[in-house]
Amino acid sequence: MMALINSLNLSMDFPMGFHGQQSMAIGLLFAVTATLAQAVPLNERPIYVQGNERTRPAYIEHLVRNCLEDTDETPRDDDAAAQIIRACLLNSRLFVETAVHVAPDRIDVTVEDRWTLIPIPFASAGSGDDRAAGVFLLETNFLGIGQMLALGGAITNAGSSYFGFYRDPSVAFSPWSLGLNVMRSSVDLHSYAGKEAVAGFSEVKVGFGASLGYRFSGRLSADVNLRRTIAGYRTLDTYTEDPTDNAGIDVGLKAKIGEPTYRFYFQEGFELQPEVWAQVARSGPDKRTLSAAYRANYATAVHGDHALKVSASSGISRGGGVADTFRLGGHEGTRGIPANGAWVESYHAVSVDYLMPVRSGDTGILASGVFADGGYLRFREPGRPPGGYSAAGISVYYFLKKVAVPGFGLEIGYNPTFQGAFGTASVGLGFN
């Protein structure tokens, strides 16, 4: 800077005292210049990570960069940027807690990792015949870079199932994602009219699948899916429904729209998940299948830490046989229907849940609430008329803080169209 001033070769006569003012101005100019030099653009500042025991620093840096790229507008100051990064890191569900400090020349991130590699017991029981138990080995932070790996199996009153699943949400820290899955199941399935089973068959199915996805932004991602299934059937008891053995190849397109904010025991905001599946090859006499469905979720905080959740879903299916239907029951929107107990070619379902925390501790949060479900079903069985249903009840859940899975859930309610009075208890991954 002085070289630049001297190069001007000024020889003017200045009033007395001006040289002191000139020195002050030059010093101030140096200070401003130095400050500007230190104020590195936000997305270019180096990131320093500490506290991580399982997650790699490079992956945390990748998450932070994505957080900054996904913001709709430039944060008004460094404190606002720190809040955006913290909320975004918690959305990954890899951390119990995070602390972020944004300085003019760096970003400091401190995290506390969740327990992610754990054997998880699975158990659920309903007031009807629904029973299930099993164990899963689940890793939601495989190799410390956010990959998911799961292996497991379950035995139910209807049969058994086994599966393996792998997903990399950011291949080589890129916007691309990759998924692989394999499954085998051998189950007895029944369709219900009220409390009575009106159709049933035994199904043995083996499936393999792969997906390739792209993350356009934090609010939009899409996946192309390919799956191969081989299925064999036999009729149960005296039911006349007799599916045909078949093998098929399906291509699907899924999308995720929206970016809800993780609030520990609920996801605040809106999310839409549409999907379309088309069968491109099929053995046997039945037509190839075509189906489309969506699920929309919205949740918001009410009265401080209470949560109001609203979900809606619809689906339609064409082609195939009696086994190629939506099998509904036992989840949000279809509570009070036996698990997989409504075979439909189209459906509309909605659910409303209101939750309030009862007790909070170091290990988790105990919450209770009320729920209401309702919908309209168009059944697959010939001659069976379409109809509506409704359910309402109370619920209790325990959400674990340091483990990347839910804890336990208890739901008690009444569905006059199907089970009547019902109750469901679940632990681990059986928890909706």
Is 275:247 a contact under the CB 8 Å cutoff? no
- Across 8-22, 31-45, 147-161, 192-206, the highest mean pLDDT is recorded for 192-206
Q: What are the strands of the beta sheet with 106-113, ordered from one edge?
A: 47-50, 106-113, 95-103
pLDDT for the residue 26: 46
Average pLDDT over residues 20-48: 58
- Across 117-131, 230-244, 307-321, the highest mean pLDDT is recorded for 307-321
pLDDT for the residue 401: 75
pTM value is: 0.80
pLDDT for the residue 429: 52
> What angle, rounded to 10 degrees, do the helices at 57-70 and 78-91 form?
120
Sign of CA dihedral 312, 316, 320, 322: positive
pLDDT for the residue 165: 93
The answer, yes or no, to whether residue 9 has pLDDT greater than 80, is no
Neighbouring C-alpha atoms within 13 Å toward the C-beta of 54 = 16
For the chain, what is the largest distance between any 2 Cα atoms, rounded to a whole number of angstroms?
A: 114
202: left (phi over 0), alpha (psi -120 to 50) or beta: beta
pLDDT for the residue 4: 36
Average pLDDT over residues 244-254: 95
Closest CA to 109 of 119, 100, 122: 100
Closest CA to 316 of 293, 294, 339, 296: 293
CB count within 10 Å of CB 280 equals 10
CB count within 10 Å of CB 2 equals 8
Average pLDDT over residues 317-334: 92
Distance CA 94, CA 54 (A): 9
With pLDDT > 90 as the criterion, what percentage of the chain qualifies? Answer: 51
Distance CA 102, CA 290 (A): 50
| Domains of the chain: residue spans and CATH | 42-113 (3.10.20.310), 117-428 (2.40.160.50)
pLDDT for the residue 72: 66
Distance CA 411, CA 425 (A): 7
pLDDT for the residue 106: 92
pLDDT for the residue 124: 65
pLDDT for the residue 408: 81
With pLDDT > 70 as the criterion, what percentage of the chain qualifies? Answer: 84
DSSP string, 134-184: EEEEEEEEETTTTEEEEEEEEEETTEEEEEEEEEESSGGGSSEEEEEEEEE
- Round the average pLDDT of the chain to a whole number and report it: 84
- The H or E element that residue 18 is part of is helix 18-38
Helix/strand number for the chain, H first, E second: 4, 21
Is 131:124 a contact under the CB 8 Å cutoff? yes
**Residue 229: both structure tokens together:** 């299934």
Local structure of 24: helix, strand or coil: helix
CB count within 10 Å of CB 310 equals 15
* 20 or 389, which is more confident: 389
Model confidence at 24, pLDDT cuts 50, 70, 90, reads very low
Average pLDDT over residues 398-412: 77
The answer, yes or no, to whether residue 21 has pLDDT greater than 70, is no
Average pLDDT over residues 120-127: 64
